[in-house]
Structures are given as structure tokens and as C-alpha cells.
Structure 1
Amino acid sequence: MLKSERHARILEHVSARGAIDVTELSRLLNVSGATVRRDLQHLSGRNLLRRTHGGAVLGSAGLELPVEHRTEHCRPEKQAIARAAAQLVPVGAVVGMTGGTTVTEVARVLAGRGPLTIVTNAVNIAAEMVQHQDVTLVVVGGYARTKSYELVGPIAEKTLADHHTDITFLGVDGISTAHGCTTHDQLEAATDRAFADSSSRTVVVADHSKIGKVTFAKICPVTDIDHLVTSKGAPAGTLTAIADTGVTVTTAE
């Protein structure tokens, strides 16, 4: 297993459970305790977690993992979600795309499906899409967030307010009926809301780990979205509650 993969799995487990010890990580990753301790020291130095005697805990409430540590998390699920979500887009549509690893997978599927316009604030998505001749690319400017590779803030919101998309794919860090769609950053939340406001149809793409989860900043209530595409393993009760608000819910196979 590559060092980057170990780091991603360590952060995934600490994020999900709040704390983890060296012995458990050593068994989980099939590496020595010394290797785990070096990994924890490296991640602690980047303020992604906090070392404790014998293990590590979250550095702060609501840890936001950088994109490079989220790419492989639930990737087969995200790819299944992307295939299902792409079916919602007619040829020639103007498509809004926020940042996020699941939205990135949607962009990759759409890139091979004929002419369309993509409007995005995610520089990683833009870097991939600019290579495709059938894609007309519009990049929304703004303040750059290093953890999500997104351009956010008033410049982005003004640009989106002056344009219209047929469908927007919205990446979220959590979605529930009580708290709506949420993310870790206030500026990002406001820009995501501007994407939804400028679109005829808003589709949230989120793997099962985001369903029922709540993070710091509210993007919008669930009643402001039209469709949720998720993966197997999402809490059935939460999906039913979301569907009861009038949102179409699709579970990708």
C-alpha cells in the first residue's frame, strides 16, 4: 500500500470514529507500529489530526479532509453514482458543477457524451474538462480554497447570478432533512447556494457516508434540491424522510 493510501485510510477512520490507536491501525493497514507512528506524526504536522499517547484523535470538530485524501474514499460508489447521475443530462445541456470528488466523477462520465457546456468553480474539474473538444468550459472565479480546489466568494456568486444552468450537480459534506445540505466552509456554502439558485434543477450527488451527516455551514434546505443520487448503504430511514419532502431519491447500483 502506498503512503498516500495509508494516510487516506488513517484519516478516513479517524474522521469516522473520532479516535484510533496504533495497534488497531497497524492491524488494519498490515504495517508495523513504527510505520503507523511515522504516518501519524506526518499527519499531525499537517494539522489533520492530533497525536495522543498510543494513537490519534481528530484535530478539531468537523474535520475536512483535503481533496487528495478523499479521492479514493468510496470511489467505486462514487463512480456508480456518477453513471446514474449522468443519465439525467441531455445532450447540449448547460451543466453547473461544484467541487467534490463525486462531482468530479460525474464530470468524467459526461465528458465523453457529446457536446455540452460545463460551468464550474472547481479548478481540478476545469483542468480535466479543458482537454475535451466537445465541452464548452466556463470557469467561475473567486477566492481559492486549497482543501477543496474550489473558487468561492462574492466574485463567484456574482458570476453565477448573471448566468443560468439547466442542471447543477452539487457536492455536499452532509445532507439531512433537519439541517439540509451542509459543508465545512461558509464561503463555499454561499457559492454552492448560488449554483443552486441559478439552476433549473439541482442534483445532490453524495455517497452513503454523507447521508444523515451534518457539517458546519448550511448550503440550503433539502426542499431546495430536486434529486439526490446516492449509493448502497445509506440509512433507509433518512432516505425515506428526504423523499417525503418531495426530493427524488436514486440509489446507484
Structure 2
Amino acid sequence: MLRTERHARILEHVAAHGSVSVEELSAILAVSGATVRRDLQHLDAVNLLRRTHGGASVGNIGLETPMQYRSERRRPEKLAIARAAAALVPAEAVVGLTGGSTATEIARILAERGPVTIVTNAVNIAAELVLHKDVTLVVIGGTARKESYELVGPIAEKTLADYYTDVTFLGVDGISAAHGCTTHDQLEAATDRAFTDRSNHTIVVADHSKIGKATLARICPLSGIGHLVTDADAPKDELARIAEAGVAVTVV
């Protein structure tokens, strides 16, 4: 297991349970207690959790795992979702991309396929695509969020009002029939909503861990999206409820 994946699993476990012991993490990760203690020391040093006697608890970052620790989690599922999602994009389309590890994979696929116009608020996606010859890149300005590498807020929303996309890929922290699409941050939710408002067709890309889940800030109801692409481990009963609400569901 990669170090970044270990860190992501530690942060997810702490977020889900509030606290955890070294012994628990050692068993979950199948590594030594010494390795776990080094990992916890590093994560405490960068303020992602709080080191405690014998373990760790939720730290200053709250419940959202930062982007750099999410990119290696469930990577095969995210790649499969990205391939299926990119196949839905017509040739030479104008594509909106919010942040997230799955959206980043979609951007890479579309750039290689090209030509394509990408409108994004994700600085990591912009950095990867800026020199790509087959990509016309539009970067939306705003206030940077270190957790997601996205530019959000009133400036982003005002800029998006001047653009229109054929397809927007929306990354979410939760999607459910009861609560629609949600994310951890209120400013990010408003910026994501601006993307959906200016798109002909919005596709949510989310691995199974996001299905049936609701987080702090609502982006939009299910009526605001047209399609969900997820993986085969997503709960079938929740997918059925989402489909009943009129959303096309693709499972890979």
C-alpha cells in the first residue's frame, strides 16, 4: 500500500469514528505499530488530525480528506468511472469540470482524445492541461480551497455566468435520493451549482462511497442533474431510488 493511500485510509477512518487507536489502524492497514505512529506524527504535523496518547482524533481539517490524500483511494474504480464518463462526451464539446480525483482522470482522457474545450475551477486540472495542444482551456477564478484545489466563491460564480457548457462533470461528496447532491463546503456548493446552472447536461461522477450519503452543503436536487456514473459496489437500492427520480444511472 502506498504511503498516500495509507494516510487517506487513516483520515477516512478517523473522520468516520472520531478517534482511533494505533492498534486498530495497525490491523486495518496490515502494517506495524511503528509505521502507524510515524504516519500519525506526519498527519498531526500538517494539522490533518490530532495525535493522542495511543492513537489519534479528528483535527483542525474537520471531516473532509484533502485532495492529495484522495487521489490514490479506489483508483481502479475512479479510472473505470472516468472512462465511462468521458465516453458520454460528444466530439469537440465544451466541457465543465469541477474538482476531484475522478474529474482529473476525465480531464486526462479528454485531453488525449481532443480537440476539446475545458472550463474548470480546479487548479490541478488547469496545470495539467495548460500546455496540451488539443485543449482550449478556460480557468475560472476565485478563492482557493486547499482541500480540493478548487477556486470558489462569488468571483467564480460571476465568471461562470458568462459561459455555457455542453456537458459538466460534477464531483460530489454525497448523492442520495433524499438529499440530492452535497459537498462539505458552502462556497464550493454554490460554485458547483453555478456550473450546473450553465450546462446543458450535468453528469455526477462518484464512487460507491458517496452513494446514499449526505454532507453539509447542498449543491442541487436530483432534478438538477441528468446522469450518474458510479461503480458496481454502490448500494443497489439507493441507485434504484435515484433512477426513479429521473436520473440515468451507469454502473461500471
Matched residue, 1:159: 159
**Structure 1: which amino acid aligns with 2:210?**
K
* Secondary structure of 2:113's aligned partner: coil
Kindly state the Cα deviation for residue 61 of structure 1 after the two structures are TM-superposed.
Answer: 9.6
Alignment deviations for residues 130-165 of structure 1 (CA, whole Å, 9 cap, x no partner): 122111000011111111111111111111111100
CA distance in 2, matches of 1:92, 1:114: 7
Matched residue, 1:9: 9
Task: Indicate if the aligned counterparts of 2:5 and 2:70 stay in contact, CA closer than 8 A.
Answer: no
* Secondary structure of 2:112's aligned partner: coil
Matched residue, 1:188: 188
Alignment deviations for residues 33-84 of structure 1 (CA, whole Å, 9 cap, x no partner): 1331232132123332233443223337961111100000111100000010
* Secondary structure of 1:64's aligned partner: coil
Same amino acid, percent of matched pairs: 71
Q: How does 1:49-198 map to 2 (within 5 A)?
A: 49-59=49-59, 63-198=63-198
CA distance in 2, matches of 1:33, 1:81: 35
Is 1:40 the counterpart of 2:40 in the alignment? yes
Alignment deviations for residues 180-234 of structure 1 (CA, whole Å, 9 cap, x no partner): 1111111111000000000000000000000011111111111110000001111
**Structure 2: which amino acid aligns with 1:39?**
D
CA distance in 1, matches of 2:16, 2:77: 17
In structure 1, runs of 5+ residues without a counterpart are none
**Structure 1: which amino acid aligns with 2:166?**
D
TM-score of the pair, normalised by structure 2: 0.94
CA distance in 2, matches of 1:160, 1:212: 29
* Secondary structure of 2:117's aligned partner: strand
Q: Describe the shift of the 1:76–1:234 C-alpha distance in structure 2 as closer, same or farther (beyond 3 A).
A: same
What is the number of residues matched between the two proteins? 252
Task: Indicate if the aligned counterparts of 2:47 and 2:61 stay in contact, CA closer than 8 A.
Answer: no
RMSD of aligned residue pairs (Cα, Å): 1.7
Kindly state the Cα deviation for residue 14 of structure 1 after the two structures are TM-superposed.
Answer: 2.5
CA distance in 2, matches of 1:43, 1:72: 17
TM-score of the pair, normalised by structure 1: 0.94
